[in-house]
């Protein structure tokens, strides 16, 4: 294997995004063959001992990109000090060391969640600056008034910081079940801790059920809850913002 920039290797190993890996190098936490690495250094993972905080880098043989339909009752983390089940319990054991969740869904939230060994991919999907918006189906107590909906669309102040503008619309009622609660489609471009639950709580309509139904261009209504699958290349490219290959028109022979 040829030498590559160290931050690229760290990102591919799932240690951190490339930008965060550069900070690890600047902070002196990365060594190559016992020497503290400098930003811009290259290394060959097959012949060089690359370590982060004293632990040797384990580079996955291939990059993996999974989409999981997360059930309620699972922590979005690689491990949990309280011993609760994590989303890693739902993927094959041999992959658990290299995979990491992209972003978070809280314990009682279900829906689409990405897991990958590619730190750069995770950064592009999770960070708001790249514009990968997420779509949720939200069941709330009662029916928010127009003024409350306007607040949600414009942004709610949480912990002193206003949320980014959101897109929200009413989902169709079920005439067979005329209940006082309501379902909404909510699209946001950020993912602060318990953000959606806090937004609706602050306008007086607590969330009763929350499900993520789309991540950027990715949607899969057929994936059963608790199941996962590999992403297709076209889906990976779509999430990374890569343009689709153009197919040239064939000229007619005269």
Residues forming the active site: 106
Spatial separation of the C-alpha atoms in residues 235 and 220, rounded to whole Å: 11
Q: Which residue shows structure tokens 């890996």?
A: 21
Length of the chain as a residue count? 254
Spatial separation of the C-alpha atoms in residues 118 and 18, rounded to whole Å: 10
* CA angle (176, 179, 183) in 5-degree steps: 95
> What is the four-CA torsion angle of 165, 212, 100, 199, rounded to 10 degrees?
40
Token pair in block for residue 203: 């306008």
248: Cβ–Cβ under 8 A, 6 or more apart, which residues? none
Q: State the helix-helix crossing angle for 233-240 and 119-126, rounded to 10 degrees.
A: 60
First to last CA, the chain: 50
Q: State the helix-helix crossing angle for 18-26 and 119-126, rounded to 10 degrees.
A: 110
The distance of Cα 30 from the centroid of its chain, to the nearest Å, equals 26
Token pair in block for residue 121: 């991919």
């Amino acid at each position: 294997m040829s030498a590559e920039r160290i931050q690229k290797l760290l990102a591919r190993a799932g240690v951190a995004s490339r930008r965060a890996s550069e900070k690890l190098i600047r902070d002196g936490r990365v060594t190559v063959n016992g020497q503290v690495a400098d930003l811009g250094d290259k290394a060959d993972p097959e012949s060089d001992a690359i370590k982060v905080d004293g632990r040797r880098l384990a580079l996955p043989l291939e990059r993996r990109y999974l989409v999981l339909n997360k059930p309620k009752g699972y922590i979005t983390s690689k491990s949990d000090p309280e011993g609760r089940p994590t989303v890693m319990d739902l993927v094959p054991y041999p992959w658990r060391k290299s995979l990491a969740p992209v972003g978070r869904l809280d314990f009682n939230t279900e829906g689409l969640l990405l897991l990958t060994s590619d730190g750069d991919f995770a950064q592009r999907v999770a960070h708001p600056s790249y514009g990968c918006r997420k779509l949720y189906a939200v069941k709330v107590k009662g029916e928010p008034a127009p003024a409350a909906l306007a607040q949600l669309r414009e942004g709610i102040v949480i912990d002193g910081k206003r949320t980014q503008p959101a897109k929200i619309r009413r989902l169709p009622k079920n005439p067979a079940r005329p209940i006082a609660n309501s379902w909404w489609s909510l699209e946001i471009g950020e993912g602060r801790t318990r953000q959606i639950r806090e937004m609706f709580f602050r306008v007086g309509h607590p969330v009763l059920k929350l499900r993520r139904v789309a991540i950027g261009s990715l949607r899969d209504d057929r994936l059963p809850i608790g199941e996962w699958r590999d992403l297709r290349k076209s889906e990976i490219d779509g999430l990374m913002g890569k343009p689709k290959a153009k197919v040239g028109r064939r000229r007619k022979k005269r």
